[in-house]
Structure 1
Amino acid sequence: MNFVQLNLIFVPAAAAVLLLALLLARPRSGDTRKVLICVAASLVVLVALTAVFDNVMIASGLFDYAGDTLNGTHVGLAPIEDFAYPIAAALLLPGLWLLFTRGRKA
């Protein structure tokens, strides 16, 4: 199994958790919009940080990837597959937060 195949499993699963949480929590429309704006802002920040720090770590020789597990697309030195992890985290964690705090009073 390569990284793309793993990403095709985990990113949609994380998106499904967020969607399920939004549907079950049934926040007011303004609250849903706020959640989605926060998720989008988190996505931008995490992807930017991943681009910077993955390139720094790879350039410094902290780690390397076997070429046969990657599809060949890179952002600088960072393989594009590395960006799926922060994307999945930015989708999954707010979804879990909404699910686990559902029904609690503010």
Structure 2
Amino acid sequence: MTYPLIVVPFVVITLIVTLATARRPRFRERMASAALTALVLVGLTLVFDNLMIAVDLFSYPQEHLSGLKLGLAPIEDFAYPLCAAFLVPSLFTLLSPRHAPKDTA
């Protein structure tokens, strides 16, 4: 069960960074957009991972998986698009200034 353990740090970091933006403006809107993005990415992952596994482009050693699958794709594969959908906008928010600089002209 190696692959589920590999995704844990990504999920934890995503949760911490996302929650760190909770007090920033437009949190609800960001989360709604991230959820929609996650839905699209998970859908694409579902289709293309299943296709790539079906045509034997790659495979996973079963002893390293949790055993849960969506089609042929192991559930662990879906953690990365979920994390990306929430982590990227959260990092952008944290790295952006809280207030726009005032125009001094």
Shared fold (TM-score greater than 0.5)? Answer: yes
Partner in structure 1 of residue 14 of structure 2: 14
> TM-score with structure 1 length normalisation?
0.86
What is the DSSP-based 3-state SS (H/G/I as helix, E as strand, rest coil) of the residue aligned with 2:67? coil
- Distance, in Å, in 2 between the alignment partners of 1:70 and 1:57 is 17
Aligned partner letter, 1:21? T
| Residues 13-22 or 82-91, more deviating | 13-22
Cα pair 2:31 2:86 within 8 Å, conserved: no
- Distance, in Å, in 2 between the alignment partners of 1:35 and 1:102 is 16
Q: How many residue pairs align between the two structures?
A: 101
Equivalent residues in 2 for 1:55-94, closer than 5 Å: 55-94=50-89
* Larger relative contact order (Cα-Cα within 8 Å, sequence gap ≥ 6): 1
Shift of 1:104: 5.2
The share of aligned pairs that are identical, in percent, is 43
What is the DSSP-based 3-state SS (H/G/I as helix, E as strand, rest coil) of the residue aligned with 2:100? coil
Partner in structure 1 of residue 36 of structure 2: 41
> TM-score with structure 2 length normalisation?
0.87
What is the DSSP-based 3-state SS (H/G/I as helix, E as strand, rest coil) of the residue aligned with 2:97? coil
| Structure 1 runs not aligned, ≥5 long | none
Cα pair 2:3 2:76 within 8 Å, conserved: yes
Cα pair 2:14 2:83 within 8 Å, conserved: yes
Q: Which runs of 4+ in 1 moved over 3 A?
A: none
Shift of 1:69: 0.7
Q: Which one has the bigger helix percentage?
A: 1
- Distance, in Å, in 2 between the alignment partners of 1:89 and 1:99 is 15
Shift of 1:102: 2.7
| Structure 2 runs not aligned, ≥5 long | none
RMSD value, Cα: 1.7
